[in-house]
Amino acid sequence: MELYNEKRVTLNVGGERHEVMWKTLEKLPYSRLGRIRFAKQIDELKELCDDINIKNNEIFFDRHSNSFGSVLNYYRTGKLHLVDDICVLSFHEDLFYWGIDECVLETCCHLKYHQKKEIILEEMRKEEEAEKEKITEQLFEGCLCPKLRKNVWDLMENPQTSLAARLIAFISIFFVILSTVTLTLNTIPELQLKVGSSNRTNVSDIHMIHEDNPIFEKIEAVCIAWFTFEFLLRSFTAPNLFRFLKSPLNIVDIMSILPFYLSFLVPKQNLSLNTARRILTLFKVLRVLRIFKLARHSLGLKTLGYVLKNSHEELGLLMLIFVIAVLLFSSLAYFAEKEEYDTKFTSIPISFW
């Protein structure tokens, strides 16, 4: 293209012109300006900017120019510094637009940048919670006994509203942990009850069957009673029952409570021993889901879920790298060990493990 016949190019960012050498942009080939440098077609170039004036050798970007000086300095010197008179969130968006990672900030600016960013995000979170609180109060206005329902709802759903609400949250967390520990301990053979069972073809052939410890079953019943009470109380005081029931955490609550009650409905007398045992095992597996109830009372777990939701592309890339590494090294292990006597590397899928 005619643009590349010149040694320099003019970058017009929000009306402010910057002249830069083409070879300077080659230093960061995967950034926006670097991709412009290596663009081979005019259509590809137009996708990376807002306008082009080939005659004047000028490329226009409809962006604010405050942070571009720092970005361009990074191309020239390899050092990225924070602009003091600009919002850090705006600076973050500009870095994302130009294709530069915020991790390359110099040490002198790195800590200040992240501190300011955390403070702003925390203020935004508080404003968002205050706005949600106003919306919730408006939803309760059309309900029966709005003040009472609002107080009970805050007591069960918002631990930060009062000391009693924090106590309820602590009790709920205690029962979740107790239930999980009980479910885990109940799988230890030494803590289970051993019941003798004879083979029908040979009465003298007796083998032992492990059954759940009744003490653990009673603890489980107490935990389920609390979870049921908690869920029903939150359901009755919810401002919008339909929205409440379709919440992911509430779906987890239902799936962790129902198996206990469904286990009583299994007609054990009409089913074979193996069939009934498999159904009850399925119900016990579903109880493990209640560990996710901790996310309701843990800000850290909520933050983790938010990070995973907003970083699905990076997480997918990490999993791809992991799969490639597993496939590569398991293949090498298989071809290196397959000729050995009594090898355990009998195939590449088995070598994955």
Least confident of 156-165, 257-266, 323-332: 257-266
Residue 195, φ and ψ in degrees, nearest 5: -120, 130
Q: Which two tokens stand for residue 232?
A: 């029903």
Is there a contact between 207 and 169 (Cβ–Cβ < 8 Å)? no
According to DSSP H, which parts of 195-290 are helical?
A: 214-237, 241-245, 248-262, 273-287
What is the pTM assigned to this prediction?
A: 0.49
* Residue 60 banded pLDDT, cuts 50, 70, 90: very high
- pLDDT, tens digit, 9 for 90 and up, residues 23-41: 888 888 889 998 888 888 8
* Residue 235 banded pLDDT, cuts 50, 70, 90: confident
Cα separation, 191 vs 223, whole angstroms? 19
Q: What per-residue confidence (pLDDT) applies to 142?
A: 60
Cα separation, 196 vs 23, whole angstroms? 83
144: DSSP letter: S
Comparing 51 with 288, the larger pLDDT belongs to: 51
DSSP string, 164-195: HHHHHHHHHHHHHHHHHHHHHHTT-GGGSEEE
Closest CA to 67 of 86, 44, 49, 42: 86
